[in-house]
Amino acid sequence: MAQNVQICEISSEAKESIKNFRFRKDTTNAALILKVDPESHMVYVDEELNDVQDVDELRAELPEHQPRFIIYSCRMDHSDGRVSYPMVFIFSTPKDAKPQLQMMYAGSKLSLVKEVELTKVYEIRELEELTDEWLVEKLQK
């Protein structure tokens, strides 16, 4: 029941950025970081990162005590020589974030996942969990 509650609206700017990000043609790693504005109850683009070297660089851009939604596209070299560019949705919700913020993010997650139309959806509770190894392991399942 509570999972269907949408706490925050997705701003039209964020929807446009998500659409543009999903259909980008670049082959570099990139991330779209989204945040909730607790005052307006809207999801906005916090930052767009192009040419991200690795997950460590992405992790350095994330706040340690505030939740964020991340859409991340990265190059993945397969053992058979193929190269793919999977796109993942990561919900970062640190344990020590304010409970009100955690609820706003958790309540907005499903509608945002539906908007981005991604099936690879992961959650981390601590930024240290977000590593290249973790991501590769998730993507190989």
Residue 28 belongs to domain with CATH number: 3.40.20.10
Q: Which domain holds residue 46?
A: 2-139
Mean pLDDT score, 110-129? 92
pLDDT digits (tens, 9 = 90+) for 78-117: 889 888 889 999 999 998 888 888 889 998 999 899 999 9
Distance CA 46, CA 126 (A): 19
User: For 54, which DSSP code?
Assistant: S
pLDDT digits (tens, 9 = 90+) for 50-87: 999 889 999 999 998 999 999 999 988 888 988 888 99
Length of the chain: 141
pTM: 0.90
- For 72-120, the DSSP string reads EE--EE-TTS-EE--EEEEEE--TTS-HHHHHHHHHHHHHHHHHHT-S-
pLDDT digits (tens, 9 = 90+) for 3-51: 444 578 999 999 999 999 998 888 889 999 999 998 899 999 999 999 9
Domain count, the chain: 1
Distance CA 45, CA 14 (A): 5
Q: What is the pLDDT of residue 25?
A: 86
In 3D space, the residue among 136, 121, 141, 137 whose CA is nearest the CA of residue 76 turns out to be 136
